[in-house]
Amino acid sequence: MSRLKLAESVPADIGEDLFVPEPADENRSNEASAPSNSPWRDAFRRLRASKGVVLSAILLLIITSIAIVGPAVSKYAYDEQNVAHSNLPPKIPGLQWLGFDGKDRQGTDVYGQRNIDTAYWFGTDEFGRDLWTRVWKGTQISLFIALIAAMLDLFIGVLYGGLSAYYGGKVDNAMERVIEILMGIPSLIVIVLFTIILEPGILSIILAMIITGWVGMARIVRGQILKLKVQEFVLAARTLGVSNRRIIWKHLMPNAMGPIIVNVMFDLPTAIFFEAFLSFIGLGLQAPLSSLGVLINDGFKQMRMFPYKLVIPAVMISLILICFNLLADGLRDALDPKTKK
């Protein structure tokens, strides 16, 4: 009834000439034709706007570059010993008045030398080895172990978690029981077993890290895939006959890449700290190899007489861990759509 009244109330003399098109607005047309930012470009823009993230990335780039070229700059090898130059303080230009002049003040040594003056920028240890070379070589080895461990965790965790979540059912149930068993095994026990089977070194540390290190990545990937596989775009791909492999690697994994990248960034400082802890307690690298954990362990034994042996590697590992954590926090905020302004 109301529709009939509405139709009767409309005047019959309304024609097409009364409808005039609105003039085009150039500003609005330019705004509509502007290209839209992709989620990754928008995340990079927010990441670049964070001063802490930018500073952390610059520091990490500088530390990594010096770790690569630093040992080659020095004329001393990281395992080269010279007892005549043992326990020399650092030589820092401008801070000679604080004792950082690289001169020996312990009197005549066994070789009859006194007041040695050499260009050891970070000083030397009790065997006369150049700490500059050993610190940067140790940083290089620590970063290498962390990178390899993180990449292996990424590969195994993404593959395992993705397959477990996608196929679901009995497959997911069985694979989750394996993860629960691995999570119940203490990492230190695994390290001790690998130390008994293999010699302490880089290989044993990496193998011990990847035995249980990928479990966290697998659970994160599993949760993301379980959430994404019921979305409409996945159902549409299945309806069109897309293979399971293509759905996983072309549709699901790219959409789960944000949490994966953030977790990898958190895995890097965790692996560096884990390696340093193992080397500190004597289960990691052994002399004459050098890592930040080995240097901290050596400096801890002589921290009262020669504090620089502990301070330098401790500051280095602290900077690396802080930079990686800040960068990971920035990535998490940038890739989280809930924080988008």
- Cα–Cα distance list, 157 to 163, 215, 251, 271 (Å): 10, 6, 18, 15
φ and ψ of 211, to 5 deg? -65, -45
For residues 332 and 43, give the distance between their C-alpha atoms in angstroms, rounded to a whole number: 10
Residue linked to tokens 């070194």: 201
CA distance 106 to 89: 11
pTM for this entry:
0.75
3-class secondary structure, 130 = strand
118 Ramachandran zone, left/alpha/beta (phi>0; psi -120 to 50): beta
Angle at 302 between CA 319 and CA 311, to 5 degrees: 15
Beta-carbon contacts of 23 under 8 Å, excluding residues fewer than 6 positions away, are none
Terminal CA-CA length for the chain: 49
Q: Are 244 and 190 in contact (CB under 8 A)?
A: no
User: What is residue 117's three-state secondary structure?
Assistant: strand
The torsion angles phi and psi of 124, rounded to 5 degrees, stand at -130, 165
Which domains are delineated in the chain? 49-89+117-339 (1.10.3720.10)
Q: What is the distance, to the nearest Å, from the Cα of residue 319 to the centroid of all Cα atoms in its chain?
A: 13
Tens-of-pLDDT digits for all 341 residues of the chain? 445 454 555 555 555 555 566 565 555 545 444 455 566 677 677 777 778 888 888 999 999 999 998 888 888 888 888 887 777 777 665 555 455 555 554 444 444 444 555 667 888 888 888 888 899 998 998 899 888 888 888 889 888 988 888 888 888 899 888 888 888 877 778 777 777 777 777 888 888 777 778 888 888 888 888 888 888 888 888 888 888 888 888 888 878 887 888 888 888 888 888 888 888 877 777 777 888 888 888 888 888 888 888 888 899 999 999 998 888 888 877 776 555 54
